[in-house]
Chain A
Amino acid sequence: MAGLELKHIDKIYPNTETKKKKRKKGEPAAVEPAQKELKAVSDFNLEIKDKEFLVLVGPSGCGKSTTLRMIAGLEDITAGELYIDGQLVNNVASKDRDIAMVFQSYALYPHMTVFENMAFALKLRKVPKDEIKTRVLEAAKILELEEYLGRKPKALSGGQRQRVALGRAIVRQPKVFLMDEPLSNLDAKLRVAMRTEIAKLHKRLATTFIYVTHDQTEAMTMGDRIVVMKDGVIQQVGDPNELYQQPANRFVAEFIGSPQMNVFPAAIERTANETFALIGGKKITVNAERAAKIDLPEGKSEVFIGIRPEDLYVEEENLVKYPDSQIDANIEVREPLGSDIYLYMTVPGVDKTVTARVLPTYDGKMDETVKLALDTERMHVFDCGSGASLIRG
């Protein structure tokens, strides 16, 4: 049980074979193959609290797995300092870091039974046989693996193997749990179920969890805190709500949330007491409270506007609430999901499809041109160069 501290951590791969391997895994080499050195992680600073469930999330190649593997001691740390429980561990071998890791491929020893798989680490640590047995049985009970202890991994289903991998980590009673995309090899239904299982496990074990995933839903549903990464750089750290409500930049805004936030170019115009947004030539009024938070650089008006699908309205009863922020939109595709309807629309002057999530009772047809209202109170504004959010406070 311990906190972690990562200070100015860099990971640089020299241009060799290692890089090629990384590329296969989708690490950043794919982005800049001609580069001489490859910076997989740069200046990573983070303090991870004891018993926290921290999720590292980002697209493939963002350096999240590399970061985790550095914490695990499977990769060298090129520069920076890594502390586990206050102790500098840069030069400490994996086995002495008191961590456990669950791999994406589970990495179960194929020639050992489930019991032997779980007992292996304890055996190496010379834990007395009786205690090994108690601990393995206890873990098996938690994970409902008791019946399968005598089987080899080959004879297990994907979900069972996944649980054995978890069990192997549990019996260790480590300071830190590391999980590298542990659910990505499961089918959709099982993945959702295991999500809850792991969350429950975290609560029960009360240990630090560091969890890597490319799936933002997993990140949002499981993490106490989420680190969004891109190209080896932290984009934002925050709890799920913060990331959703106050994305630090366009990348986080578009990465978190499903369906994706609509982001399109627009211009902001300010008069003495009102702020307008120009979307494809159409002028709408921005909610005054929100407008006050927009920190537009001097003399700049071109920005990107971001609005989540659920903050767009087409229904009569909602349109009346936003009389000053309506634009015309043409329904291209209508996707009824039961609980909602997704509308994919084109807006004159905007070259991207705009997605709206509307009430299931909405009866607009395809090819119909309708009024689309923006809840500008929840509108995001991003710098058109850096992509950084221009909303303050």
Chain B
Amino acid sequence: MRKKGKTIRPMALKGNTVSFGFAVPALALYTVLLIVPIIIAFGFSFTSWNGIATTTPKFIGFDNYAAMFQDERLGNAIGVTVTITVVVVVCVNVFGLLLAMLLNHAGKMTNVSRSVFFAPYVLSTVAISFIWLSILSYTGILNSIFEALGWEGLIKNYLGTQQEAIASICVVEIWRTLGFHMVIYLAALQTVPADLYEACTVDGGGRWHKFRYVTLPLITPGITISLLMSIINELRMYDIVKVLTDGGPGYATETITYNIVTQAFGNNMLGYSSAIAVFLFAVIATVAIIQIKVTTKKEVEY
């Protein structure tokens, strides 16, 4: 049959089907400027290249990866990133859900509040980081307020020590992304049919029961998405650190991304920085794959 078909088939549908040509421009650009560089980065990660064009990259096998285990500065960066990720992810999701639940019943205020909460997410991270820098630094607004109130004891540089700086970064990031997650939860809550709550009331359930047995199970897909997105986002943290602390004091608040950039363009350790980037890629890809798995499963359910 196949042979027979081939002789007759060719042109009939050529005029009707979408040709591969449609995908070529996007495919070319995407491949050349994203996929190829990623492959090159993998290659670099096995070399000790310093980025000077006249030298050729020297292959050193897994030495870069081995070196990562000895690298205290990287260890610190991983610790900082994990701390920021955990704190921000927990806060943003817990408060995001709480706020969404309140907002769902706030009547006329809903729209205004949503717009205000979402606003920081729209502005550039550079802009909001500078706003917060002006609030948190030693000569900043927070300290001016404390001074005016006479709370001298509270006056200090809120970016001065590692702990305080990380806390400050978390506050800024929570403030920036809270509205985004709140909106996701708001959308998830609105998919819960109202009559389920009524059914729960009829069955004798109180507020807690409604939350535990109706809301929570039905917004699980929303929770999953929100959690995974915030994890991926925080693992990539860079901008706020760059503006707020520039990694300091010392390198105390460096995140993984910050560390990669510094190693690459500050210290010219292109090979080594690529190895760290590959490591970060592996971590984020894992989370992303989980996200894809979860979301495609959700699609099937509907």
A residues with a Cβ closer than 8 A to B are 10, 12, 37, 73-81, 90-96
Chain A, residue nearest B13 (CB): A76
Q: Are A79 and B8 in contact (CB under 8 A)?
A: yes
Partner of A79, one of B4, B11, B15: B4
Q: Are A73 and B4 in contact (CB under 8 A)?
A: no
B residues with a Cβ closer than 8 A to A are 1, 4-5, 8-16
Chain A positions within 8 Å of B9 at CB level: 76-78
Chain A positions within 8 Å of B10 at CB level: 91
Partner of A94, one of B1, B4, B16: B16
A12 and B5 contact, Cβ closer than 8 Å, known pairs A91-B10, A91-B11: yes
Chain A positions within 8 Å of B16 at CB level: 73-74, 93-94
Interface centre among A75, A80, A91 (most CB of B within 10 A): A91
Chain A positions within 8 Å of B12 at CB level: 73, 76-77, 90-93
- Contacts A79-B5, A93-B14 known; list 20 others, CB within 8 Å: A10-B1, A12-B5, A37-B1, A73-B12, A73-B13, A73-B15, A74-B13, A76-B13, A77-B12, A78-B8, A79-B4, A79-B8, A91-B8, A91-B10, A92-B12, A93-B11, A93-B13, A93-B15, A93-B16, A96-B15
Cα(A385)–Cα(B13), bound, Å:
41
Chain A, residue nearest B3 (CB): A79
Cα(A92)–Cα(B9), bound, Å:
10
Chain B positions within 8 Å of A79 at CB level: 1, 4-5, 8
Chain B, residue nearest A96 (CB): B15
Chain A positions within 8 Å of B4 at CB level: 78-79
Interface centre among A74, A80, A93 (most CB of B within 10 A): A93
Q: How far is the CB of B97 from chain A (nearest CB, A)?
A: 38
Chain B, residue nearest A92 (CB): B12
5 A/B residue pairs, CB under 8 Å, sorted by A: A73-B15, A74-B13, A79-B8, A91-B11, A93-B14
Instruction: Give the interface SS of chain B, mostly helix, strand, loop or mixed.
Output: helix
Chain B positions within 8 Å of A78 at CB level: 1, 4-5, 8-9
Chain A positions within 8 Å of B11 at CB level: 91-93
A90 and B15 contact, Cβ closer than 8 Å, known pairs A12-B1, A78-B1, A79-B1: no
A77 and B8 contact, Cβ closer than 8 Å, known pairs A93-B16, A94-B15, A96-B15: yes
Q: How far is the CB of A9 from chain B (nearest CB, A)?
A: 10
Cα(A37)–Cα(B8), bound, Å:
18
Chain A positions within 8 Å of B13 at CB level: 73-76, 93
Chain B, residue nearest A79 (CB): B4
Q: How far is the CB of B2 from chain A (nearest CB, A)?
A: 9
Chain B positions within 8 Å of A77 at CB level: 8-9, 12
Chain A positions within 8 Å of B1 at CB level: 10, 12, 37, 78-79
Chain B positions within 8 Å of A75 at CB level: 13
Cα(A74)–Cα(B17), bound, Å:
9
Cα(A91)–Cα(B1), bound, Å:
18
Interface centre among B1, B12, B13, B15 (most CB of A within 10 A): B12
Cα(A77)–Cα(B15), bound, Å:
14
Identify the 7 closest CB pairs spanning chains A and B, nearest first: A93-B15, A91-B11, A78-B5, A79-B4, A91-B12, A76-B9, A90-B8
Q: How far is the CB of B10 from chain A (nearest CB, A)?
A: 6
Cα(A93)–Cα(B1), bound, Å:
23
Interface centre among A10, A37, A78 (most CB of B within 10 A): A78
Cα(A12)–Cα(B6), bound, Å:
12
Q: How far is the CB of B3 from chain A (nearest CB, A)?
A: 10
Q: How far is the CB of B58 from chain A (nearest CB, A)?
A: 48
Q: How far is the CB of A357 from chain B (nearest CB, A)?
A: 47
Q: Are B15 and A95 in contact (CB under 8 A)?
A: yes
Chain A positions within 8 Å of B5 at CB level: 12, 76, 78-79
Q: How far is the CB of B52 from chain A (nearest CB, A)?
A: 51
Chain B positions within 8 Å of A95 at CB level: 15
Chain B positions within 8 Å of A73 at CB level: 12-13, 15-16
Cα(A96)–Cα(B14), bound, Å:
12
Q: How far is the CB of A6 from chain B (nearest CB, A)?
A: 13
Chain A positions within 8 Å of B14 at CB level: 93
Chain A, residue nearest B4 (CB): A79
Q: How far is the CB of B8 from chain A (nearest CB, A)?
A: 5
Chain A, residue nearest B15 (CB): A93
Q: How far is the CB of B157 from chain A (nearest CB, A)?
A: 59
Chain B, residue nearest A88 (CB): B8
Cα(A80)–Cα(B9), bound, Å:
10
Q: How far is the CB of B36 from chain A (nearest CB, A)?
A: 30
Chain B, residue nearest A12 (CB): B1
Q: How far is the CB of A157 from chain B (nearest CB, A)?
A: 31
Chain B positions within 8 Å of A93 at CB level: 11-16
Chain A, residue nearest B8 (CB): A90
Chain B positions within 8 Å of A74 at CB level: 13, 16
Cα(A186)–Cα(B77), bound, Å:
66
Chain A, residue nearest B11 (CB): A91
Cα(A62)–Cα(B230), bound, Å:
52
Chain B, residue nearest A70 (CB): B12
Chain B positions within 8 Å of A90 at CB level: 8, 12
Chain B positions within 8 Å of A76 at CB level: 5, 9, 12-13
Q: How far is the CB of B267 from chain A (nearest CB, A)?
A: 51
Chain B, residue nearest A11 (CB): B5
Cα(A173)–Cα(B14), bound, Å:
24
Q: How far is the CB of A84 from chain B (nearest CB, A)?
A: 13
Chain B positions within 8 Å of A81 at CB level: 8
Q: How far is the CB of A287 from chain B (nearest CB, A)?
A: 48
Interface centre among B1, B4, B8, B16 (most CB of A within 10 A): B8
Q: How far is the CB of A91 from chain B (nearest CB, A)?
A: 4
Chain B positions within 8 Å of A12 at CB level: 1, 5
Cα(A10)–Cα(B15), bound, Å:
21
Cα(A377)–Cα(B13), bound, Å:
52
Chain B, residue nearest A93 (CB): B15
Q: How far is the CB of A35 from chain B (nearest CB, A)?
A: 13
